[in-house]
A and B are shown apart, each in its own frame.
Chain A
Amino acid sequence: MLKRILILTCLLVLFSFCLTGESLAQQPKQLTESQKKEVDENLTKATSLESDGDFNQAGYFYNNVATIYWTHGMAKEAIANFEKVISMYEKIGNRNAIKNTYNNIGMAYTDINDYQNALIYFEKCLTECRNTSKKAEIVSSLINIANTYAQVNKYDQSIATLDEALAIATEMNDAKQLRNIYALLAEDYDKNGNTTKSAEYFALYTTITRKVQKEEIQKKEAEVKQIADDAQKRAQLAESQKQQTQIALEQNKEKLDETQKNLQKTEELSNIQKMEISMLNKEKELQSAVISNQRLLRNIFIIIIIAVLAFAGVVVLSLYHKKKANEQLEKRNKEIAEQRDLIEQQGMDLVKAVVQIEKQNKDITSSINYAKQIQEALLPTEESLKNILPESFVLFKPRDLVSGDFYWFTGYSGKGVNGKSRRHHIRLGNIPDDESGFIITAVDCTGHGVPGAFMSMIGFNLLETVSRNGITEPNEILNELHKSIRYLLKQSSSENRDGMDMAICVIKDKGKKLEYAGAKNPLYYICNGELHQVKGDPVPVGGIQKENRREFTLQTIEITSPTYFYILSDGYTDQFGGKEGGKFSSQQFKELLLEIHQQPMDKQQEILKQRIASWMGDKYKQLDDILVIGFKLGDRTIEIS
């Protein structure tokens, strides 16, 4: 069994390397007359080409000579000519041909059982293979060498050689070569007496043989199937093309008489093909022959079809174009209609949405309008301020319906002062009976609009409470407000950071003294044409705070001559406008105050209003609530009772 395998393997190896080895049957060692003539002819050509310096062609003819000898069992003559071939190719450096020729010489020596020389040439061949790094060839060479070693009973060397071949073949996953190597290894180990290893490799050999055979069968089946499928596809194609052609032909009957004949032919051909397909499916072995027939028929058929189609194509194409244009027109019309419907629908949706938004807007606006009435009812009037400070004004311009800015004032006096009880005046038990004063503040709550107004409600009520508790120092009032807001809005524990920026003044000594405290907002006053700015503390009431306690600073201004006081929120100074869209700015505001302070208070209010309106122009909307309060002291005694 193993021997048979070995012979088979050797044949495979030889086949894989050298096509000339195909007909290497042992023939009588004599050439016939005609063969001799052939040898002579080739030799003549080879020598003449060699002397002309065309070594490549010369090599080719020497190779012919060697091959003739070899195929007729005359290995020695073959070898001599192969050597000639090598000397030719050496001159032009054709390494690939040299490599193949070395292999052939090795084979030829093997034929005459000269394994010593065979080995030498197979080794040379291997060296060439290694130089080109073609793994498949290296494996083949190694197998040849191993085989030769085995012939001279050098099984260990044979095995060592095969191990290298095995490593490369495994890496390449070359099933066929692996099969050869396994067979040789099984043989070698058997001869060497290592039956275990031999059996092992034999098992591997049979496994891989089955695998290779299976793969080959599968591959062949797949090829056959592919051929059958292709044929069927072509038949289908032919059928559909035929149908198209028929339609065209009907439309052009008179002109296409000749074409119809062709078409009939085509039909016949197609029928033949169909029959062939069924035959193909049944008889796979006959397939290749049938396919080549079919191919020929198909080619003829295709040529005919092309001729027919070229003729009919013009007619069909013009019809097709017309049809397509009509279709496109129809499609466009449909699209336009759809778009029109969609736009109409969107328009209706939009109207609905607008109606709904208008309603919501109206609802919200009327709700806020109502809130505005509450805020207005709460805020003191400018008139009531003028009752106590005749020379004063309040410029109050909320951004929205309701405001986050507000102002608040109240007079206060001890119980002993005999005065009428009225609005904006409180009587306190904790101060001397004859003491009185007037508290006024301009407050800017965080935010504006509704949230601002919510804060303003809180601030307003706290001011009422704190003052009624008898606190009349402006800094103390701010301290109390801060504590209360911190408590009410739970700012020690929550994320809430709302608060108020404010400036608060308390007029004391019948108008001879003014006490001020500020939470971020300053006090401006002008005395003898000079503007003074009193900065408050840089922190708000409530709001962002890191510290637990907050102490505001008291600042006192003695009034000896007519003095104009102004407190405000930042709405006026931060308003964007002007040519460059900048802020009105504190600087400009101060300059404006200096410019207008000697005007009557009502006039000042009017100018401030106009200035900010023209600063905003048409381009800029009001940014925040605006509040400016101005009053004049030092002219006369202020009676608070």
Chain B
Amino acid sequence: MNTLFTEATEDSPSIMFDGELGIIEIKGKSLPEDAIVCYTPLYQAVSEYIKTPLVKTTMNLRLEYLNSSSAKNILKIINLLEDLPPQGYAVDINWFYNDNDEDMLEEGMEFRRLTTLPIKFEKEM
């Protein structure tokens, strides 16, 4: 599976994965009852992708809210990407957050603490 797109719902974000461009994007609110169901397709797609990755992979996280089980599942996907830089592939993770939403900035800070990959913070609006 080279591309994946899941539309956002009331309680789950839109999830986009394009293996041909090396882009992963999660956008919106993520508070599904069972986050594993929501993130498993992306997890599988990324697992497959890292076997033959592109020179550069970009992950854009534009989250307005995420519950703790979503965080756990997104982190699992980030952990997959951690294998790439030692093999010479670049990984960019961009954390977009609303200018006055310091809670999401802090959430991003926690991700930064939990991964060896650099996370860039980008203010929006």
Which A residues are closer than 8 A to B by beta carbons?
446-447, 449, 497, 499, 501, 520, 538-540, 543-544, 546, 570, 573-574, 576, 582-583, 585-587, 623-624
Instruction: Known A539-B113, A623-B31; judge A446-B106 contact (CB<8 A).
Output: no
Instruction: Known A539-B113, A576-B29; judge A583-B101 contact (CB<8 A).
Output: yes
Query: Could you list 7 examples of A-B contacts with CB < 8 Å?
Result: A449-B33, A539-B110, A543-B68, A544-B75, A546-B114, A583-B65, A587-B102
Chain B interface residue count, CB cutoff 8 Å, equals 21
Instruction: Known A447-B68, A544-B71, A574-B65; judge A585-B31 contact (CB<8 A).
Output: no
Instruction: Known A538-B110, A585-B101; judge A624-B67 contact (CB<8 A).
Output: yes
Residues of A within 8 A of B48 (CB): none
Which B residues are closer than 8 A to A by beta carbons?
29, 31, 33, 64-65, 67-69, 71-72, 75, 98, 100-103, 106, 109-110, 113-114
How far is B98's CA from A574's CA once the two chains are assembled, in angstroms?
13
Task: Return the contact of A538 from the options B68, B72, B103, B106 (Cβ within 8 A).
Answer: B106
Residues of A within 8 A of B33 (CB): 449
How far is B66's CA from A623's CA once the two chains are assembled, in angstroms?
11
The B interface is mostly helix, strand or loop, or mixed, namely helix
How far is B66's CA from A576's CA once the two chains are assembled, in angstroms?
12
Could you tell me if A576 and B100 are in contact, using CB atoms closer than 8 angstroms?
no
Instruction: Known A447-B67, A587-B100; judge A538-B29 contact (CB<8 A).
Output: no
How far is B106's CA from A268's CA once the two chains are assembled, in angstroms?
101
How far is B72's CA from A585's CA once the two chains are assembled, in angstroms?
22
How far is B72's CA from A543's CA once the two chains are assembled, in angstroms?
9
Task: Return the contact of A576 from the options B65, B67, B75, B110 (Cβ within 8 A).
Answer: B65
Could you tell me if B31 and A624 are in contact, using CB atoms closer than 8 angstroms?
yes
Distance (whole angstroms) from the CB of B69 to the closest CB of chain A? 6
Instruction: Known A576-B29, A623-B31; judge A586-B68 contact (CB<8 A).
Output: no
Could you tell me if B102 and A538 are in contact, using CB atoms closer than 8 angstroms?
no
Distance (whole angstroms) from the CB of B108 to the closest CB of chain A? 11
The 3 closest A-B CB pairs, nearest first, are: A446-B68, A497-B72, A586-B103
How far is B71's CA from A229's CA once the two chains are assembled, in angstroms?
77
With A447-B68, A544-B71 known, 11 other A-B pairs at CB within 8 A are: A447-B67, A447-B69, A497-B72, A499-B68, A538-B106, A544-B75, A546-B114, A574-B65, A582-B98, A583-B101, A586-B103
Could you tell me if A583 and B64 are in contact, using CB atoms closer than 8 angstroms?
yes
